[in-house]
Amino acid sequence: MEEIDHAPLMFELNGDRQLVPPFNPEFRLLLVDDDARMLGSLCELLKGLGHQLTTASTGKEAIEQLSRMKFDLILLDLRLPDMTGHQIMDFVRDHGIDAHVIVLSGDTAIEAAIGALERGAFGYLRKPYDPRELLKLVDNARQRTYLEAHNLQISSRLERSERLYRYLIDNSPDVIYTLNHEGKFSFVNKRVNALLGIDRDELIGKHYSELVHEDDMDMATNVFNERRSGDRASRNVELRLKCLTGLEGERYFNNTLITIVLNSTGVYTRDKAYAKHEFLGTYGVARDITDRKRADELVTYHAYHDVLTGLPNRILFKDRLSIAMSQAKRERAELAVMFLDLDRFKRVNDTFGHAKGDELLQQVTARLQAAIRGGDTLARLGGDEFTLVLPNLHTRRDAEAVASKILENLRAPFEIDKQPLHISASIGIAIFPGDGETIDELLRHADIAMYQVKSMDKDSYHFYDSKIINSSHQKIILEQSLRNALTQGELEMYYQPQVDATSGEMVGVEALMRWNHPARGLLGATEFIPLAEEVGLMIPLSDWMLSAVCTDLSKWNRVCPSELKLSLNLSPQYLDRGNFPEKLSEALTLHGILPQQIEVEITENISIRSPQQAMEQLEKLCRLGVTIAIDDFGIGYSSLSYLHQFPIHTIKIDQAFVREIQSASGHYPVVLAIIAIAKGLGLRLVAEGVETEIQSHYLEQSGCGTMQGYLYHEPMSGEQLLQMLHKHTALSAQG
Ligand code: C2E
Ligand code: CA
Ligand code: CA
């Protein structure tokens, strides 16, 4: 027997050379022949290959074997006693048996061969066969079986891995896509549906630019057209894409945009045949970072905004201001910084509670915003303090216009707890660069200007004036020393007599406060009373005054009992909040003084704050038996209406009118009118600031008999007055 070549065979799969093993023990053969001798020699021939051999000598037997187990190859005799080989092949085919068939036939008729080949026989050998040919054919069948099994395995593995990749790609949290050389989508995974609300099939063939937010188009053009690959390709480029729906659940900000970070790379042919690789398109992966982005934005937002009003906070304000300042500097332009503080906001908080206070601040914010332009920055520094930058100022008028508009916008009542509520603001304005070249300087100066408004009329605005800084500095010092003055006993009451012009008799005195300032000497009331009013010192000052005048008056009463009328100047603040009638009544009782000896001087502004309350207080005083005088009569606008509203006994003609009387032959209609009014209403009249004989004469001639002024007496200390009284009683006693 010749050498049979059992050498291993190489075959190529996917470009790799693979080895087919020379035999595999699993290879099963079914040998079918009714000729026992033939079967025996077949077994003899094949057994050396190590295959598993099974024999059958009838068709029935063969079919039984085929039904029982799996065979890879059938060596089949066509002519069997019970059936033909063709019938067995039909059985194989009909039952889907995966076995090759080699027909070994003694039949010389061509039909037998054709019938076998038609039924898919792997080989056909005519008996007597050449054993080498048979072995070769069997080995070919074995190799074929092996390759088929192998291919099946591979293709199922491929199918599985293909499915795996598809699964991975479609379930990727990222959008994975390819673009063709024209920038049109050639592939995109399912993720795009959920993310952009666009069906991926719809996207195929569309240009990427249809997805990109207009503002990011330039950047997008670079990444989406990425032609570089490897390390030089685009990495982590942030872009915004348009999205059709808010499928991704609640978004805080913009539902129509998502932010992605994109990595892309150029794709080229792999064909080794070409020296130059052809550009096929771009492959990219886009990750949705919208939520992270928004979380970042939220954090940044809170770091730079006031939570209550949503306005920029101090940090962002300073940032915007510094940008506006650099711009103004470049353009040699001016800008305005405003400091705005609500007037009496504390009272709202105290009355309605903080929640309502917050509500008011929100309402105020809306009105402030309505007064400013797009480029202006309104910020809340905290509490009821707001700041405003107006860049690009043409003139100061621009700032004035905005300030007026703001005050105007605040004028209509707000609604808190269904109640109308009025609130005004004080605004200080500083101009860059004139009023300061740094942020802090500008803010400080606007703040000082704002305080200037606060201390005066409120509900108004003021430009910063460098002179204010000095006076306000002085004010602080003065305030501190005035507080000390109270405790150190530096205050003293002076008294200025009121004289009956005809008789020359002293009919009363007006109490005037003085401050023995340790450094500046004796200060008149005008030098510290306005400050005391401003800083809220008027109540302790008035308390002190009340007890001082009562002490002095009780001393004088011992010299000339109950004759002297004492006039007190009453601070509006004291009347407002000082329980003045009660305190006065207490003090009078304590010092044994009759209320009839006291006159209270009020000015018109007493009723500006709360006329109803002023009226009630004054009525209480009247009921005590105290009389009331209107001080500085004629200079205000509501003097006349007072006369009807309040229980008045005395009118004091203001110094300004008295000063006008300069000629004995002159005619002074205002003075005459005031005198006529007093006469008509049966009121007592006192002329103030009488310095000359002409004045005294004119007034007396016109019907005003009581005078107060330097012509008669300058204000004097309690001690001096006491001595004067002593002298007077001594003279009367002599007379
Ligand atoms: P007033 O009530 O109009 O007081 C009269 C002011 O005129 C006093 O100034 C007095 O010294 C001054 N005077 C008197 N005679 C003449 C005169 O012939 N010519 C001129 N040019 N002035 C004269 P004073 O004491 O400086 O007081 C200024 C203002 O301060 C007072 O105006 C009054 O409104 C207020 N004031 C003074 N003392 C008190 C006080 O104890 N309590 C309160 N609440 N206010 C006071
Ligand atoms: Ca007075
Ligand atoms: Ca006066």
The Cα 617–Cα 721 span in angstroms is 31
What residues have CB less than 8 Å from 355, skipping those under 6 apart?
A: none
Average pLDDT on 622-632 reads 93
- Among protein residues, the one whose CA lies closest to atom 27 of ligand 1: 525
| Other residues' Cβ atoms within 10 Å of the Cβ of residue 657 | 23
Average pLDDT on 580-601 reads 95
- Class at the top of the CATH hierarchy for domain 299-467: alpha beta
The 3-class SS string of 650-710 reads: EEEECHHHHHHCCCCCCCCHHHHHHHHHHHHHCCEEEECCCCCHHHHHHHHHHCCCEECCC
Start-to-end C-alpha separation, the chain: 183
Q: How high does pLDDT run on average in the chain?
A: 86
Task: Measure 655 CA to ligand 3 centroid, in angstroms.
Answer: 7
User: What CATH superfamily is the domain 482-729?
Assistant: EAL domain (3.20.20.450)
What residues have CB less than 8 Å from 635, skipping those under 6 apart?
A: 654, 656
Tell me which residue has tokens 């009025």: 422
Ligand index nearest the alpha carbon of residue 709: 1
pLDDT of residue 24: 59
Task: Measure 510 CA to ligand 1 centroid, in angstroms.
Answer: 9
Helix (H) or strand (E) holding 254, with range, is none
Average pLDDT on 246-264 reads 63
525 lines ligand 1 (CB under 6 A): yes
DSSP designation for 75: E
Average pLDDT on 432-442 reads 91
Is the domain spanning 10-159 CATH 3.40.50.2300? The answer is yes
- Mutual orientation of helices 59-68 and 85-94 as an angle, nearest 10°? 20
Residue 665 has pLDDT above 50, yes or no: yes
545 lines ligand 1 (CB under 6 A): yes
The Cα 132–Cα 43 span in angstroms is 14
Task: Measure 605 CA to ligand 3 centroid, in angstroms.
Answer: 13
Ligand index nearest the alpha carbon of residue 714: 1
**In the chain, where the domains are located:** 10-159, 172-288, 299-467, 482-729
The Cα 583–Cα 64 span in angstroms is 131
pLDDT tier for residue 268 given thresholds of 50, 70 and 90? confident
498 lines ligand 1 (CB under 6 A): no
689 lines ligand 1 (CB under 6 A): yes
376 lines ligand 1 (CB under 6 A): no
Ligand index nearest the alpha carbon of residue 494: 1
pLDDT tier for residue 455 given thresholds of 50, 70 and 90? confident
The Cα 393–Cα 252 span in angstroms is 36
Residue 2 has pLDDT above 50, yes or no: no
- Among protein residues, the one whose CA lies closest to atom 33 of ligand 1: 569
pLDDT of residue 1: 37
pLDDT of residue 273: 62
Whether 378 and 369 have beta carbons less than 8 Å apart is answered as yes
CATH architecture under which domain 172-288 falls: 2-Layer Sandwich (3.30)
pLDDT of residue 255: 58
Q: What is the pLDDT of residues 70-120, one digit of tens each?
A: 999 999 999 899 999 999 999 999 999 989 999 998 877 888 888 888 898
pLDDT of residue 253: 42
pLDDT tier for residue 21 given thresholds of 50, 70 and 90? low
Average pLDDT on 31-44 reads 92
Residue 11 has pLDDT above 50, yes or no: no
- Among protein residues, the one whose CA lies closest to atom 20 of ligand 1: 689
Task: Measure 524 CA to ligand 1 centroid, in angstroms.
Answer: 8
Using alpha carbons, list the distances in angstroms from residue 637 to 203, 337, 633, 642: 80, 36, 10, 10
